[in-house]
Amino acid sequence: MELFDFHIHSIFSDGELIPAEIVRRCSVLGYHTIAISDHVDNSNIRFVLQNLVSACEELGRYSDIELIPGAEITHVPPGMMERLVKDARKLGAKVVIVHGESVAEPVIPGTNLKAAGIPGVDILAHPGLITVEEAGIAEENGVFLELTARNGHSLTNGHVARVAQETGARLLVNTDAHSPEDLITGEGALQVALGAGLGRDDLEKVLAVNPRDLIDRILE
């Protein structure tokens, strides 16, 4: 099974590893495509993306996996979000994630709703107790919802999966990795999906079809 992860952090935000080590470790684990998507707000978005775009471009020439620069817009006031999504795109982010209303962190209420309504957002990460309304808006705008392997954030994976199935919103499995031990194998991704309550019939869609569709959109 091919393995995809669009939500990995490096030392350019709060991750432990430089991009080269992330790439090497993911290659050994059998990843097909990864995005290094570091935390950004208005204060560091330029610094982070200038470094990530350069690192991904050069490392990609020597790697056996597809490497994508991304950004996770994190803990910003919802009123700032749309501008930062546009800024991230202009600065070279191929994947734009918004840090959703995880129950593990004090994310500003209204973040999920705002992110779901912005077509330039690719993924709403760990969206916590997302509502049916918010998930429906995400589906309309092509925003994927994340099932996460990360401790704390993963507490609501079952709820996210149920709401996504009710509304037709599309799901992805990501690690939100900050350290080497956060990276998972294909079996680990399968366990995240099954643990969220997905049936066997949904696994190929969530673990293979949806990631491929996102990549196709990125590379348009």
> Domain extents for the chain?
3-218
Given a cut of 80, whether residue 1 has pLDDT beyond it is no
Mean per-residue pLDDT, 65-73: 97
- Its pTM surpasses 0.85: yes
Long-range contacts of 165-169 (CB under 8 A, 24+ apart): 165/202, 166/132, 166/135, 167/132, 167/135, 167/136, 167/138, 167/139, 168/136, 168/139, 169/135, 169/136, 169/138, 169/139, 169/143, 169/144, 169/145
Given a cut of 90, whether residue 200 has pLDDT beyond it is no
pLDDT classification of 48: cutoffs 50, 70, 90:
very high
Q: Residue 123: its pLDDT value, please? A: 98
Given a cut of 80, whether residue 87 has pLDDT beyond it is yes
Give CATH superfamily name and number for 3-218: Metal-dependent hydrolases (3.20.20.140)
